[in-house]
Amino acid sequence: MRIFLDANILFSAARSDGAVRRLLAITESYGHELWADAYVFEEARRNLAAKTPGGLSVLNAMADRIKIGGMGTGNFLLPDTVSLAEKDRPVLAAAILHHCDVLITGDRTHFGQLYGKEIQGVAVLSPAMLAETILG
């Protein structure tokens, strides 16, 4: 399974050796691919630099294991029925563009209404939902 990581997931995994980092490690150990693009990776890097600079080295190490696609502008890929803030549209569009099966995001404010739904082949899940899917 291809799993696209939102910036808040990258941030959380790099910031501390907590549940999100462990979930990503388990996901990888089960043979799933972790994906991001330049847009979300740069957002995570910017937020870490401002809030938790010590996490930058962890984020850089993660970059060696994550497949990082180019930054797309694929907003046109999203159906008109998908209501997302302008800054979040490229995240879902990139997951679609990179043929991911899942977009994992902890952003309940902007993506919460899409949790559990599939948009153009991409299921939008919270970290807990992904854990339930992976670990059954």
pLDDT one-digit tens code per residue, 11-51: 999 999 999 999 999 999 999 999 999 999 999 999 999 99
- pLDDT of 74: 52
In order of start, what are the domains of the chain with their CATH numbers?
2-135 (3.40.50.1010)
Residue 81 pLDDT:
78
pLDDT at position 78 is 73
102-129: burial string, b at 16+ Cβ within 10 Å, e else? bbbbbbeebbeebeeeebeebbbbbbee
Does the model's pTM come out above 0.75? yes
